[in-house]
């Protein structure tokens, strides 16, 4: 496996998709810093914690794009078959691909933090959250990205046609974001809203609070919260909009998704007919 990793990283450093991803995330971090600077001039107060979560939605698209364009060429060029002919085992090939995708995506995310830490810190008023909690949030964001890499690597190693792979991964990501947005929209429903009654002259006679029938309660709310916490795309929205309720559970879910996708991918890839 060491030989596979050396060859893979040598290819990674020459891959345009990797450097484009690094440049995109660095530019995103620079744009966030510029937005914060303009907000500070207008009197808005920002904290470093706000900047550290502003990349999450953009980061969701890194694994599908990278895996489709980098790992997807393995079948087109016959590289996977050549590795197996050279004596490499299927688990080693799969795990090397997973390691490359996770490392590449984490490095791209690190490119976002470079301008944020070097420049953005001059426009913020401290962390805005306890250091331990901020470290937990950032760790959760990285685990979320790793979980997405695990799922995208699974698809990349099982779908042999690059075009189908790219469409499948991007559509799945968009569907995940749509589900996450729908679930979190329901969770954000207020428990009460202000009801108003007017008399014939148009004067307000009653402005008491009324119960919102769309507010989730009990087991139904717990189920929606679990879906938002469990889905990597749901996690991205929670992190991005500072709606995290169970940060430790979200980290655990990401580890479970990465482990399950890797185990399932290894089993499926061992049985795949490479023709």
pLDDT for residue 113: 94
User: How much is the CA Rg of the chain, to the nearest whole Å?
Assistant: 23
pLDDT for residue 215: 81
User: For the whole model, what pTM was predicted?
Assistant: 0.90
For residues 202 and 199, give the distance between their C-alpha atoms in angstroms, rounded to a whole number. 5
Q: pLDDT digit string (tens) for 155-191?
A: 999 998 888 999 999 999 999 999 999 999 888 888 7
Q: How many domains does the chain have?
A: 1
Question: Residues 101, 70: contact at Cβ < 8 Å?
Answer: yes
Range of the domain at 140: 2-271
pLDDT for residue 103: 97
Q: pLDDT digit string (tens) for 39-62?
A: 888 888 889 988 999 999 999 999
Look up residue 167 and give its two tokens: 């469409």
For residues 89 and 106, give the distance between their C-alpha atoms in angstroms, rounded to a whole number. 26
For residue 23, name the pLDDT band (cuts at 50, 70, 90).
very high
Contacts of 245 (CB under 8 A, 6+ apart): 225, 229, 238
Q: pLDDT digit string (tens) for 68-84?
A: 999 988 877 777 888 88
Angle at CA of residue 183, ends 181 and 187, nearest 5°: 110
């Amino acid at each position: 496996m060491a030989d596979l990793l050396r060859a893979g990283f040598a290819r990674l450093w020459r891959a345009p998709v990797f450097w484009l991803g690094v440049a995109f995330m660095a530019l995103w971090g620079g744009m966030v810093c510029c937005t914060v600077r303009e907000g500070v001039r207008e009197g808005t107060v920002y904290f470093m914690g706000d900047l550290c979560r502003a990349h999450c939605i953009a980061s969701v698209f890194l694994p599908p794009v990278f895996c489709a364009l980098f790992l997807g060429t393995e079948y087109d060029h016959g590289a996977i078959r050549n590795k197996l002919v050279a004596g490499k085992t299927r688990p080693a090939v799969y795990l090397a691909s997973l390691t490359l995708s996770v490392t590449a995506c984490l490095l791209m995310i690190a490119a976002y933090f470079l301008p944020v830490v070097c420049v953005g810190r001059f426009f913020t008023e401290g962390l805005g959250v306890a250091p331990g909690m901020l470290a937990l949030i950032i760790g959760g964001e990285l685990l979320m990205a790793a979980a997405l890499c695990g799922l995208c690597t699974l698809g990349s190693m099982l779908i042999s046609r690059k075009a189908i792979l790219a469409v499948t991964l991007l559509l799945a990501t968009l569907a995940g974001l749509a589900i996450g947005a729908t679930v979190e929209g329901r969770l954000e429903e207020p428990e009460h809203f202000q009801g108003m009654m007017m008399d014939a002259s148009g004067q307000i006679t009653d402005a008491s609070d009324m119960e919102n029938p769309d507010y989730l309660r009990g087991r139904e709310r717990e189920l929606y919260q679990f879906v938002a916490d469990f889905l990597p795309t749901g996690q991205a929205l929670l992190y991005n909009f500072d709606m995290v309720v169970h940060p430790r559970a979200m980290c655990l879910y990401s580890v479970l998704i990465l482990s399950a996708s890797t185990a399932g991918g290894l089993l499926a890839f061992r049985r795949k007919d490479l023709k």
